[in-house]
Amino acid sequence: MRVVAVVLAAGAASRFGSNKLLAPMDGRPLLQHALDAVAAAGVDDVVVVLGAEADAVEAAIAWRGERRVVNGRPQDGLSSSLRVGLDAAVEVPDAEAALVVLGDQPQLRPGVVRAILTVASSPAAAHAQFVRARYAADPAPNPVFVRRSAWALAAGLDGDWGLGPLMANRPDHVVEVPVEGANPDIDTPADLAAVSPAAEEDHR
């Protein structure tokens, strides 16, 4: 099954005070951690949705061939970036699903990505439009596997919402994958300080 990772990295980061995606953690920009985890999990087709500071991000990241697209209206919230990313994923030949990843989650682990893709490929999840992580210490669902048949549903989202509302309205089409730990968003400098000491040990 051909899966395209859609990495959402267009947020304004108003609470962080600067471009949080480029904030250093363990010697790498925040966004680099998420991209490295996706690559380590073996996902080769990657679309990265950038925002108003796309040029700065372009210059700071060690790219592997990820396709970059720009959300011209990042102020419209996460839903707008999700639509831009899925529209770009449509152009990947034979793409059957997307894996939606948030660029401000540097503790994403390759093992979690692999677990989600393994379950999504199993007969037990054949009915599911969405396969999401269920962290032991974090209610956030990301990353989320989305079959292509559900991509058009993102057109009905608005504001700063991702796939959460769609999954909440379609519980029979969601499969959860239990995983240990957490995968927190980094929204403030305090959030970054809280995860930095443990990041190197946990980022496996």
pLDDT number for residue 62: 97
pLDDT band for 106, please (50, 70, 90 cuts).
Answer: very high
Quick check: is 204 in a domain? Answer: no
| CA max distance for the chain | 46
Residue located via tokens 């309205």 = 169
Residues 38-93: tens digit of each pLDDT: 999 999 999 999 998 899 999 999 999 999 999 999 989 899 999 999 999 999 99
pLDDT number for residue 200: 40
Domain membership of residue 60 as a residue range: 3-198
| Number of domains observed in the structure of the chain | 1
pLDDT band for 19, please (50, 70, 90 cuts).
Answer: confident
pLDDT number for residue 12: 61
CA atoms within 13 A on the CB side of 29: 18
Is the pLDDT at 203 greater than 50, yes or no?
Answer: no
Residue located via tokens 């990241």 = 61
| Residue 65 DSSP one-character state | S
Quick check: is 22 in a domain? Answer: yes
Residues 119-177: tens digit of each pLDDT: 999 999 999 999 999 999 988 889 999 999 999 998 888 888 889 889 999 999 999 99
Quick check: is 203 in a domain? Answer: no
Going by C-beta distance under 8 Å and a sequence separation of 6 or more, which residues neighbour residue 106?
25, 30, 33, 34, 186, 195, 199, 203
Contact 72, 52 (CB under 8 A): no
Q: What's 24's domain CATH number? A: 3.90.550.10
Quick check: is 145 in a domain? Answer: yes
pLDDT number for residue 146: 97
Contact 111, 23 (CB under 8 A): no
Quick check: is 49 in a domain? Answer: yes
Quick check: is 58 in a domain? Answer: yes
pLDDT number for residue 202: 40
Is the pLDDT at 14 greater than 70, yes or no?
Answer: no
pLDDT number for residue 196: 76
- Residue 104 CB burial class (10 angstroms; 0-12, 13-18, ≥19): buried
CA distance 69 to 67: 7
Here the tokens at position 36 are 């490295």
Radius of gyration of the chain (CA): 16
